[in-house]
Amino acid sequence: MIPDVTLRRSRQAHIATPRLETPFHARIAALDETNDWYSWAGYKAAHSVFDEELEYFAIRSTAALFDISPMVKYRISGPDAERYLNRLTLRDVAKLKAHRVQYTAWCDDHGHVLDDGTLFRLAPDTFRLCCQERHLPWLLDSAIGFDVEIAEETTEIAGLALQGPTSFAVLANAGFDGIEQLKPFQIAEFSHDDTRVTISRTGFTGDLGYELFVPAGAALSLWDRLWMAGRNLGIRAIGYAALNRTRIEAGFIVANADFMTAEAALRADRARLPDEIGLDWLVDAEKPFFNGRHAILEARRNQSLKYILVGLEIEGNIPAEGAIVYHRKKHEAGLVSAAIWSPLAKRNIAIATLERPYGSRIVDDLWVEIYASRELQYQKMMKRATIVPRPFIKLDRRTATPPGLF
């Protein structure tokens, strides 16, 4: 029999199990002033580093470094890699050329979205799939009959997002010659120490930006190289809170925040088809086979889609995070999943899921119910909401090639 004291300590150790530290943790911890950490896929990640608002303005005004190492990464390779991924994902992978990236999503057999992410074609038969959740069992089951190798490389590959108007200047200063030729969603490899760093012109901010992937052992030297190159260009380390503000401005969605993934949904009616979360444009209906194809196209034919994801502009300046959306102030129409007052757009914006026909056939007389704290007392406000296109902001510098030196 295990002594009570041993059992107690075992339970406490289980509760106190520390989160993993990313390869960049030492540098971020040295800069940290807020001690504001959260758990991302089992890793200790910064929610903020020094000030959430100033970190947001670093993204929009200079350059910001965000640690994306916890992002789940799979390497998929082999003679059937393209054919396998074409069967798995919504888009036509045959159209994805080597050294290019595409945003995509994948579904179960019922057409419900399992996750979204980015697919990097590193070579003709080699891909990297990056996503929010872990899907190795699903990927392996889906690979039956295909000549492919699938391996998770999350711990082996460190990742950094370098975003903002001076991000190109930082990379140029750091000696990445030829970086000015990189177009949006293009990949290139560069020398770094005794290894190679893969740089893609991608990001989650709607701004000029890049993502860098390097073997974990070279992570700190890469950070130092960028930090030194950006010291006169306003480079700052940031946390997720600031990044989240910019992704809302860009109209991007987050799995299990703006929609529930099919594997995470506890109730069957919480799962979503691509068309119900604004990802209908990803679906290549010309492909003969892909997971969920029949269910997705059947819902379109039968007009049985139940939900729609929309952008909202809300009167006033109080963010409507988590607010219920009403029609004519009395009929519940949906829920706001993400909202901010946008400093760049100078608008109160939100992303919301509405239950059809609201948002599709009925688009007028929409309201949100906001509860704002006023001197330790909540005040209920009904604010008018207008459906508007996403993204809420568009920055020319995001796609300009070569990028400008700001």
For the CA atoms of 278, 53, 397, 336, the dihedral, rounded to the nearest 10 degrees, stands at 10
- Give me 251's structure tokens: 């109209």
Q: What is the C-alpha to C-alpha distance for residues 158 and 213, in angstroms, rounded to an integer? A: 6
Name the one residue in this structure whose structure tokens are 């990189």.
182
- Give me 258's structure tokens: 């703006």
Beta bridge partners of 30: none
**Binding site for substrate: which residues?**
211
Sign for the CA dihedral angle at 72, 78, 82, 83 comes to negative
Taking the CB of residue 1, how many other CB atoms lie within 10 A of it? 5
Contact predicate 247/60, CB 8 Å: no
**Binding site: which residues?**
211
* Those residues with Cβ within 8 angstroms of residue 246's Cβ, 6 or more apart along the chain or in another chain: 56, 59, 60, 163, 204, 205, 206, 207
Q: Which amino acid is at 235?
A: I
Q: Which amino acid is at 344?
A: L
